[in-house]
Chain A
Amino acid sequence: MTDPVLQTRGLCLSFGALQASKDITLDLRAGEIHALIGPNGAGKSTLIKQIAGGLRPDAGQVLLDGRDITALSTAQRARRGLGRTFQISELAMEDTVLQNALLGALGAGGNPFRFWQSALGHSDLRDRAETALERVGLRDKARMRTSELSHGQRRQLEVAVALTLNPRVFVMDEPMAGLGTSGSETMTTFLDGLRAEAPILLVEHDMDAVFALADRISVLVYGRIIATGTVDEIRADKTVRNAYLGEDA
């Protein structure tokens, strides 16, 4: 078995009396999609923030490629190869679709402190941005203002920006949120192909997508991981059925 690309070891975080993360240890191996599921308020978003940046755990470590990134800022983690997408799109709404993708390319391609040449004129940045848009099917929307995109297209752009970074791992917070049936299917097919490029830690409520995509699933309830296993193992697990999936799953 190969070493995990992304690992958490014993993450603990409390907000006052509320223990949002209790000794969370999980890993993400090369080539896999590892889904993180759990009811609302289980601490999924809190965990994602400790992994991708934004919250510091009280105890425990986050490791990327075996190196401790617990103390690094969000920006430093991104430069180490952590590509994150948000549940609610974080995009520059006044800018064009291409400019949003260029921003990603700019972060990945190094130096934003270039004042003279037009951002659109840097062919290396532009190629990278356009390739990413092409892959999610937004190439023909490149000149559109992001605020004019449909909800589903914004979800696609969110993924495209992460693609421009050529990350080592993807951390995706509900990429299917708010997508209709066909949108969900398209995204599922896309993510299915993406795992060969970089493993995906996927937080998702859409159980059809989770069962279709995940190599492994971890179930988070009240800040604790109650089970980790393959789709079949999780479906068969009694505690999980009681806590989350319900009897009909």
Chain B
Amino acid sequence: MTTERILNAVVVAGLVLFPIWAWMADEPFMITLATKAAILALAGVGLNLALGIGGLVSFGHAAFFGIGGYAMGILASHAQAYDPIFTQPFVFEGSKSMPVIWLTAILASGLAALGIGALSLRTSGVYFIMITLAFGQMLYFFSISWPAYGGEDGLSIYVRNSFPGLNTLDPIQFYGIVLGVLCAVLFLLARLAKSPFGLALGAARQTPLRVETVGISPYRLQLVAFTLSGMITGLAGALFADLNRFVSPVMFSWQTSGEIMVFVIIGGVARLFGPVVGAILFIILEHLLGGLSDYWHIYLGALLLLIVLFARGGVIGTLTGREAAHD
């Protein structure tokens, strides 16, 4: 067992034990914090597929996070108003069921990622960063100016959506759902990283010319990776909206894109658990430093600088002592 695997196991144990402690100590706020960390981790895990394995520095993943959030907001707001979303050519009702909302969020963000990726992947380097940012900002301003779903004020959902057999209003049960989703996605990505697709995608990051020369189009690999990545971040967006029972254009903002990227960089780019560690640290810092100063981001910025300058493998890279994540 490698050091990294032991570390991953410790993280999973913490994700299971901390909320159980909070539940027994009757600290529901701590459970909510853990839930937030797990959801943001999932958003980062989505980005890590594109950024880490694929080398695609997307500065527009808030687009998918927001689409997932609004998928939840739109479905649930129509359901709570007993008002179908549209009636032509067929009746499309809203929904308060999490599995239905998740599926919608995944499909919608996947479609958006396919379109954005198809255009953005024709560029690379700094142009790719800028064009993904531009798409994110387009959706941000669209959400602000669309009055049907709250515009700038966002949308409130009165009751958390339902999951068959569970009471989602109970913090620990909702946390269980979120942790289950996170673990399932991590498991799938662990398989993907070792699969033929993961191998080819990683090679396309390192040497696209070689990949072409063996008859594989790097563009297609990257487009599929970008789409899957958007789907995962979109699912996280739906869960985040459900946690807050509120959706607003902030989910689409470039600061959100930046935060998601910060999770990945702090934890360790291309490490399976990198964004999980990054999101947990982010939430801990926000909680501890946010109590000391409204300007706590300055400390986060300092940490980020230190990591980028001195610890390229992020926290996981530093603790396990191996710089490159690929074996």
Q: How many A-B contacts are there with CB distance less than 8 Å? A: 111
Whole-angstrom distance between the alpha carbons of A68 and B195 in the complex? 35
Contact call B207/A90, Cβ cutoff below 8 A: yes
- What are 5 residue pairs bridging A and B, where the CB atoms are less than 8 Å apart in the complex? A91-B210, A95-B199, A103-B199, A103-B203, A165-B214
Chain A residues, CB < 8 A from B194 = 118-120
Q: Which residues of B contact A76 (CB under 8 A)?
A: 215
Q: Is the CB of B191 within 8 A of A107?
A: no
On whether the beta carbons of A115 and B197 are closer than 8 Å, the reply is: yes
Residues of A within 8 A of B210 (CB): 90-92, 103, 161
Taking a contact as CB atoms under 8 Å apart, the answer to whether B213 and A84 are in contact is yes
User: Considering the chains assembled together, what is the distance between the CA atoms of A108 and B216 in angstroms?
Assistant: 9
Residue numbers in A under 8 Å from B213 (CB-CB) = 52-53, 74-75, 78, 84, 86, 90
For residue A94, CB closer than 8 A to chain B, the reply is yes
Interface size on A, residues (CB 8 A): 42
A119 — which chain B residues lie within 8 A by C-beta?
194-196, 198-199
Asked whether B203 lies within 8 Å of A75 as measured between CB atoms, the reply is: no
Say whether chain B's binding surface is mostly helix, strand, loop, or mixed: helix
Q: Which 8 A-B pairs have the closest CB atoms?
A: A107-B214, A78-B215, A107-B215, A79-B215, A74-B212, A112-B200, A90-B210, A94-B326
Tell me whether B129 is interfacial, beta carbon within 8 Å. no
Task: Please give the distance in Å from B93's CB to the nearest CB on chain A.
Answer: 33
Q: Given A161-B210, A165-B214: A115 and B192 within 8 A (CB)? A: yes
Chain B CB within 8 A of A189 CB = no
| Alpha-carbon distance between A96 and B202 when the two chains are bound, in angstroms | 12
Q: Which residue of A lies closest to B201 (CB)?
A: A112
Q: Does B211 contact A (CB under 8 A)?
A: yes
Minimum distance in angstroms from A157 CB to a CB of chain B: 11
A111 to B215, CA, bound (A): 10
Please measure, in the bound complex, the distance between the C-alpha atom of A120 and the C-alpha atom of B199, giving whole angstroms.
Answer: 10
B195 near A106: Cβ-Cβ < 8 Å:
no
CB distance from B4 to the nearest CB of A (A): 15
Q: Which one of B191, B207, B221 lies within 8 Å of A112 (CB-CB)?
A: B221
Q: How many Å from the CB of A102 to the closest CB on chain B?
A: 6
> Which residues of chain A in 87-102 are interfacial with respect to chain B, using CB atoms and an 8 Å cutoff?
90-96, 99-100, 102
From A52, A94, A161, name the one whose CB has the most chain B CB atoms within 10 angstroms.
A94
* Residue in chain A with minimal CB distance to B203: A92
Q: Is there contact, CB below 8 Å, between B198 and A78?
A: no
B123 within 8 A of A: no
Q: How far is the CB of B206 from chain A (nearest CB, A)?
A: 4
- 19 further A-B pairs in the complex, CB-CB below 8 A; given A103-B211, A112-B196: A75-B213, A75-B215, A78-B212, A78-B213, A79-B215, A90-B210, A92-B202, A95-B199, A95-B203, A102-B196, A112-B216, A113-B197, A114-B196, A115-B192, A116-B191, A116-B195, A119-B194, A119-B199, A165-B215
With a cutoff of 8 Å between Cβ atoms, the chain A residues found around residue B221 in the complex are: 112
Chain B residue nearest to A79 (CB atoms) is B215
Which residue of chain B has the shortest Cβ distance to A99 in the bound complex? B199
B215–A118 contact, CB under 8 A? Answer: no
- The chain B residue sitting closest to A165, CB to CB, is B214
Kindly name the residue among A115, A117, A145 whose own CB sees the greatest number of chain B CB atoms within 10 A: A115
- B212 near A112: Cβ-Cβ < 8 Å: no
A104 within 8 Å of B (CB atoms): yes
How distant is B222 from chain A, measured CB to nearest CB, in Å? 12
Asked if A19 is an interface residue, CB under 8 A from chain B, the answer is no
